Chains A and B, each alone.
Chain A
Amino acid sequence: MRVEMFTFLVAAMICLGGALGVVLLRNTVHNALSLVATLFGIAVLFMAQGAYFLAAVQVIVYAGAIVILFLFVIMLLGVDRATKMGVDPIVGQRPAAVIAGLAILGMSLVALLAGPEVVTGASGTTAAVTSEVPDVNQLGRVLFTDYVFAFEITAILLTVAVVGAVVLVRRSAGEPEDSDEFPEGTAADELAAQRALEDEWDDDAAVDGPTGEDDLEPYAEEVEP
């Protein structure tokens, strides 16, 4: 019991510190890294409660995929923009938000700690957690029997999400390129402009400058027939 208490306290500190970091730090990259700390802490708590498979999935999916996605988008949009926390567009929103958060916390704590019994309800209606069978087996058995429809709908949800993401970030035909990334147009535009400038210069030179016989020779061949 002491070991579990120690584990819980350390993981809880990591979780709360990370959560506060997500909310309070100004740099977006630091926010994402604090989120990783919280996710790791929660994975540790999963493991302390015997949900080994979920702890692994938590680390792989959240820390490995979702936070990396966040970091990709942060890098894509530019990291140099630190958020200005001083301005308050709606007057008194921040204090109201903090009060609302404290109210949420207070209500949950009262609901949790008021009664003598925290956990009520029927136990083990789906399938009991036993330590004899690995939890992956138990999860798989329940997932593919009792929750098989929800599981199938999950597949549809993921497909819709992928298609939606592709449609959202697709550039339609007439739309200009990123003005953020290429302030003076894309590389293709720049090359075309350069070529036009050179052509103009050549034309000017042909009109104004003294032209020797050698310069005209290629044209002469074309003109003759």
Chain B
Amino acid sequence: MTLAQIEVGLTPAWYLVLAAMIFAIGAVGLLIRRNPLVMFMCVELMLNAVTLTFVSFSRALDDVGGQVFVFFVLVVAAAEVVVGLALVVAIMRRRQGADADDLSLMRG
């Protein structure tokens, strides 16, 4: 068996596995971090993993629709970051150094 035969082709599965790994890292970060800003960054990681999946499927299925969806995900991510960071700034203005655990005002 020569080296050329061992060499595996770059199938869409490679991209999908990478996206799954990035998504899992983002999910774990969202669960273990306390800083709201870092939690937002982890949400961005998860969204980016999903966009990578969309583009991979777009190429694998030969369909532009997947790339259009990446566009929409991008817009939603931008809106989410704007509103989320405004919330963080508004909270931090009223109380210093608020972690996600300190914000328990709405706990029943």
For chain A, the bracket of interface size reads 35 or more
Stretch of A16-24, A194-202, A211-219 with 4 or more beta carbons under 8 angstroms from chain B: A16-24
Query: Mostly helix, strand, loop or mixed at chain B's interface?
Result: helix
Chain B residues closer than 8 Å to A28, beta-carbon distance: 35, 37-38
How close is B72's CB to chain A, nearest CB, in angstroms? 6
Chain B residue with Cβ nearest A167? B86
A31 CA / B97 CA spacing, docked (Å): 17
Chain A residues closer than 8 Å to B48, beta-carbon distance: 38-39, 42, 62
Known interface pairs A16-B25, A97-B32, A162-B82. Does A122 touch B61 (Cβ–Cβ under 8 Å)? yes
Instruction: Establish whether residues A129 and B59, one from each chain, have CB atoms under 8 Å apart when the complex forms.
Output: yes
Q: Total A-B residue pairs with C-beta atoms closer than 8 Å?
A: 248
Q: List 21 A-B contacts (CB under 8 A).
A: A8-B10, A8-B15, A23-B33, A23-B38, A31-B41, A42-B22, A50-B59, A57-B74, A70-B85, A73-B88, A83-B34, A89-B34, A98-B28, A100-B31, A105-B24, A109-B20, A118-B13, A119-B57, A128-B64, A147-B65, A169-B89
Instruction: Establish whether residues A102 and B10, one from each chain, have CB atoms under 8 Å apart when the complex forms.
Output: no
Instruction: Establish whether residues B35 and A105, one from each chain, have CB atoms under 8 Å apart when the complex forms.
Output: no
CB neighbors of A among B5-35 (8 A): 7, 9-18, 20-29, 31-35
Chain A residues closer than 8 Å to B45, beta-carbon distance: 19, 22, 35, 38
Instruction: Establish whether residues B71 and A57, one from each chain, have CB atoms under 8 Å apart when the complex forms.
Output: yes
Instruction: Establish whether residues B89 and A73, one from each chain, have CB atoms under 8 Å apart when the complex forms.
Output: yes
Instruction: Establish whether residues B63 and A128, one from each chain, have CB atoms under 8 Å apart when the complex forms.
Output: yes
Instruction: Establish whether residues A113 and B88, one from each chain, have CB atoms under 8 Å apart when the complex forms.
Output: no
Instruction: Establish whether residues A142 and B78, one from each chain, have CB atoms under 8 Å apart when the complex forms.
Output: no
How close is A122's CB to chain B, nearest CB, in angstroms? 7
A28 CA / B86 CA spacing, docked (Å): 17
Task: Pick the 6 closest A-B CB pairs, nearest first.
Answer: A97-B31, A101-B28, A23-B29, A161-B79, A126-B65, A108-B20
How close is A115's CB to chain B, nearest CB, in angstroms? 10
